[in-house]
Structure 1
Amino acid sequence: MKKYNLIKFLKIIGLSTVSALTYQNDVISLIADNSNVLYEYNIKDAELTKITLSEGEIENIAKKDKLDFESMIDSDKSTYIFGSGSNPNREKAVYINKDKNTVETLNLNYLFDSMKSFAEISENDLNIEGVAYANNEWYFLNRGNGPGNKNIIFTVQGNNLVDDFNLFFNEFELPEINKIKTGFSDGIVIKNKLYFIATAENSDSTYNDGKIEGTLFGCINLKKMKLEYTQIISTENKFEGITLYELKGKNAVFLLGEDEDNENNQTDIYKLEIKL
């Protein structure tokens, strides 16, 4: 069993849920699955700013209409924000070029169709909840909360994600929490290992929410594509975003974003310190 410490770090007013987050230079970037907005929270100034990602309604979008942004990759030069692919409206990504200050929408229907075809899974089982990037490879984490419980990591290599890529996949069996199956919700790569969170929700649908049963933290060796360990970190919270905050010797401190399935206009960010 891994020793860990989970504490509330800060409260952000202005959004009610977090589906992914990143951290750089005292700024937390966040997305919410019911908004077409990139939020940026400056920790020192305690200020929240918004970057609009699409035309029309941008916040508190109805479930049937939302693009369902669930994952994000951020670097000094660019940001990628991904829809879940769980229906045709959600097969999009947003690419932000920071040097040119431009926002572009990418159609990823061919990528998501390829995932379903290669892994032989139904439309009801595709639900990309996390994306990680390292060494010129993308890792798309499929949450196994559909009827087939397909927890899959899709590895994507190539020149782009639209129509020029190679695709591989590996399926994983994850532990249960309170007899409820868990599914990938996000991940981050550190030194060829994928550190991930997976949530348990009493529902067999990628569309409908269920009773929250908790979250576990785990590690996958990417060279061997082998699950090394898991650790339950909560039986109450549904954490959907993870990013690295700092490394402290053999320990890492992560920031976790929570989805409470409510409409409160505030959200808590947690710190998780755990030995790697």
Structure 2
Amino acid sequence: MKELIIEVLLTIQGIAAASGIVYQDKKIVIVSDNSILLYRYDMKAQQLAKDTLIWNDIAENVPKKQKADFEAITQTKGVFYVFGSGSGARRNSLITYNPERNAKDSIDLKPVYENLMQKFGISDKDFNIEGAVSMGNEWWLFNRGNGPNKKNGVFILEKRTFRPKDFFAVSLPTLQAVETGFTDATLVDGKIYFTAAAEDSNSSYHDGEIKGTLIGRLDPKTRKLEYTQTLSEKNKFEGISLFRKSKHRLEFLLCEDEDADVSASKIYKVTIPR
């Protein structure tokens, strides 16, 4: 087992239900599953900026039936890509955002998501995108297996056209006798590092009792797990991003969704040996 060191790095006031995180140039970028905003926290200035991703009457603490459920964020070539989970009728948007140009675009992924479900035999109750990784000319979308049939796995799509290419299932260990499912993923030096949470529920829509989160590594070439390890048996970490790396260790930032009515987000740092 790898020796993990996990600690609270900071607390950001003004963000609830953090669901995805990207670290870049001393700035922490976060999306929330009950907000339509993109949050940018400047660590040096200790200031929080908020950018509206889509138009809505309510920007934060959006009611469950109305929320866009932004669960996955990734960044490539200066552009942020924010994916809705697809776990409900209003949750099918992909937002692209270039902060340097203040350029935003919205793409309706409903036909893409429906195509994925049909092609790979996954019901809408088992469909729940929680992580996204840019892999060359492909998108790898990580489906959280917290639906009734526990369809934990990875969809592979052609990046430009969103044409479905493949799906492969990933079997993950349990925490406190509850199955874990992907909550986020990030690419580092050719390997995919991910978080997966255990929640005592058979629904991709309704929350359940949190049983913890693990971290793991996936080899995209072989599509095999290389290891998993428990991070916590009480926290639900929903976002992971590389913070720093050296020859002998990697440091990741994690964001947490406490499934509680709080307007502050703790950012954790986990250090693992190479």
- Asked if these proteins are the same fold (TM beyond 0.5), I'd say yes
Aligned position for 1:125: 126
Please list every run of 5 or more consecutive structure 1 residues that lacks an aligned counterpart in the other structure: none
Give a deviation string over 1:98-127, Cα, whole Å, max 9, x none: 453221111111211121112201110000
Distance in structure 2 (CA, Å) of the matches to 1:102 and 1:160: 21
Q: CA deviation at 1:159?
A: 1.9
2:251 to 242, 253, 256: 253
2:185 match: 187
Distance in 1, Cα, partners of 2:249 & 2:84: 32
Show CA shifts across 1:143-189 (max 9, x none). 0000000101011124233xxx2421100110000000000000011
* 2:37 equivalent to 1:37: yes
Given candidates 249, 262, 265, the residue that maps to 2:263 is 265
Quote the Cα distance in structure 1 between the aligned partners of 2:137 and 2:233: 35
| SS state at 1:2 partner | coil
Structure 2: how far apart are the matches of 1:159 and 1:54?
A: 22
Q: Residues 107-256 of structure 1 correspond to what in structure 2 (within 5 A)?
A: 107-161=108-162, 165-256=163-254
| Alpha-carbon separation, structure 2, partners of 1:75 and 1:49 | 20
1:20-59 equivalence runs, <5 A: 20-55=20-55, 56-59=57-60
| Distance (Å, rounded) in 1 between the aligned partners of 2:175 and 2:210 | 10
Kept in 1, the 8 Å contact 2:212–2:236? The answer is yes
Counterpart AA for 1:254: F
Quick one: percent identity of the two aligned structures?
39
* Aligned match of 1:10: 10
Q: TM-score, normalised by structure 1?
A: 0.96
Aligned equivalents of 2:54 and 2:158: distance in 1? 28
Write out the 4+ residue segments of structure 1 that deviate beyond 6 Å after TM superposition: none
| Aligned-partner Cα distance in 2 for 1:25–1:233 | 26
Quick check: 2:116–2:164 contact (8 Å CA) kept in 1? no
TM-score, structure 2 as length reference: 0.97
C-alpha distance in structure 2 between counterparts of 1:76 and 1:225, whole Å: 25
1:76 Cα deviation after fit: 4.4
Distance in 1 between residues matched to 2:122 and 2:105, nearest whole Å = 29
Map of 1:105 onto structure 2: 106
C-alpha contact (below 8 Å) 1:34/1:63 kept by paired residues: yes
Deviation at 1:261, TM superposition (A): 0.5
Superposition RMSD on alpha carbons, in Å? 1.2
